[in-house]
Amino acid sequence: MFIPSDMRRLSRRTVLAVATVVFAAGAHAAIPIQHWTLPSGAKVYLAATNALPIVDVQIDFDAGGRRDPPAQAGLASVTAGMVEKGIRASGSDPAMDQNALGEAWADLGADFDAGAGSDRTSFTLRTLSKPELLDKAVRLAAREIGEPAFPEDVWKRERERINAAIREANTKPATIAEKAFSQAVYGTHPYGLDTTEATLAQIDVATMRQRYEQLIVPCRAKVSIVGAVTREQAGEIATALLSRLPSSSSACAELPPVPEVTPLTAAKEERIPHDSAQAHVIIGQPGYRRADPDHFALNLGNYVLGGGGFVSRLTEEVREKRGLAYSVYSTFSPGLHAGAFRIGFQTRPDQADEAVKVSRGVLAKFVAEGPTAAELKAAKDNLIGGFPLLLDSNRKLLGNVANIAWNDLPLDYLDTWTARMNAITAADIKAAFARKLQPERMVTVVVGGGKP
């Protein structure tokens, strides 16, 4: 029986969508993670599970924004975005533009994405594990990874689109606050780089190609795979996905070190007038690196402070008792370097001073005293009880495996997570917060309250 191509695509995508729901019934933290190194130098991490007929892959490279030259801030992000704009011809394989790629992925019922953050450039592939579909999806993904075209005409259009988005974003108080906060917290560190029209003007396709050839090489890859494949198949998939990248023994010379974030030596306050109904407030400082042994204590403590939504101390003091903000939060953003700790909220401009004072007071008290026994128990109950929800789909499990790979965490990290979280005491949290946060040296940014 003939089935129209659009119906075939729908059927395959439906399987992928339903798979997420089905996975939840059998999700658990005990799926073993295998790890080995390919002859190319690429490191493979596999969580093999037959719960679903799908395969999810993530490939990470040390090619995030932290390696952008300051004058070309945004280079990592736009380079990753251009990977999906077309592939060049290679041998008997024809060139494909963005539309042709979209059609090809739709025909396979598979998904491929490229993106870059502060630390890494990542490629993700999701496909059914049926051999003929899997092989075709891997081959097409290998072409996108290894043979991006970087079409100049497309980049010129993309740059104008991004410039327009930047101009619009720069009129919004949230964007203004975030940029001012990042600059004050990170200074000259790459985490604080700001993508602007001026930095985008310094980026051309030749720059993208050069950066790509330097950083996106097999020996630097960390390949995380989750799904219905054996170790042998996973090795073949990883090898195939990287097969069209240039291979060179000199390509894996050690990359230049990126300096650490400089700690703040004094408090900073910046008030930026803006004609907005709400004042946008961010309070914070450099936090900690993801590899820091205090991670569990800081994560648990932050739930009590401001990460637990309506049950957090900040919400109780700022919202419930005083009505100074509808919502208020605190968060850490650890990475390869000390990502920022921040408290954020919006309030009426005439209440901004009081809200800042109360938030600082809550933070100082928490750093000095830590959580109560009741707060600690409630936080553990919530986080540990919700842990299975972090693993209830192939895609979520892939994110966790990639996190283990990227941060060189123990392979049994997911198996020991609950025990390690349970072992944290109130004293551990108090000591960790005292080591990482200095309330008297925070950056405070307030945007709003009058026309600029």
Domain limits, the chain:
11-252, 268-447
Same fold, 11-252 and 268-447: yes
Q: What is the pLDDT of residue 21?
A: 43
Token representation of residue 445: 């940014």
Strand segments, DSSP code E, in 333-428 are: 339-347
> Which phi-psi region, left, alpha or beta, contains residue 226 (left: φ > 0; alpha: ψ -120 to 50)?
beta
CB 218 within 8 A of CB 41: yes
Q: What is the pLDDT of residue 6?
A: 46
Q: What share of the chain is helix, strand, coil (3-state, %, to 5)?
A: 50, 20, 30
Q: Which residues contact 144 (CB under 8 A, 6 or more apart)?
A: 83, 84, 87, 101, 112, 114, 123
Residues in the chain with pLDDT < 50?
1-11, 14-15, 18-29
CB burial of 181-208 (b: ≥16 within 10 Å; e: otherwise) equals bbbbbbeebbbbbebeeebbeebebebb
pTM of the model: 0.92
Give me Rg for the CA atoms of the chain.
24
Q: Is the dihedral of CA 27, 33, 34, 37 positive or negative?
A: positive
Alpha helices in 113-196 (DSSP H): 131-146, 152-169, 173-186
Multiple choice CATH, 11-252, 3.30.830.10, 1.10.10.10, 3.40.50.300, 3.30.930.10: 3.30.830.10
- Euclidean distance between CA atoms 364 and 297, whole angstroms: 17
Which pLDDT does position 248 carry in this prediction? 63
Residue closest to 113 by CA, chosen among 122, 103, 101, 104 = 122
Q: What pLDDT does 249 receive? A: 59
Neighbour order of strands in the sheet with 279-288: 268-272, 443-447, 279-288, 339-347, 328-332
pLDDT of residue 451: 61
Residues sharing a CB contact under 8 Å with residue 168, sequence separation 6 or more, in sequence order: none
Report the b/e string of 81-99 with b at 16+ CB within 10 A: bbbbbbbeeeeeeeebeee
The matching CATH number, chosen from 3.10.20.600, 3.90.1150.10, 1.10.3720.10, 3.30.830.10, for 268-447 is: 3.30.830.10
Show Cβ contacts of residue 419 under 8 Å, excluding neighbours closer than 6 positions: none
Full DSSP string of 173-202: HHHHHHHHHHHHHHTTSGGG----HHHHHT
Measuring CA to CA, which residue among 126, 51, 114 is closest to residue 82? Answer: 114
Q: How many CB atoms lie within 10 A of CB 70?
A: 11
DSSP-based three-state secondary structure for 272? strand
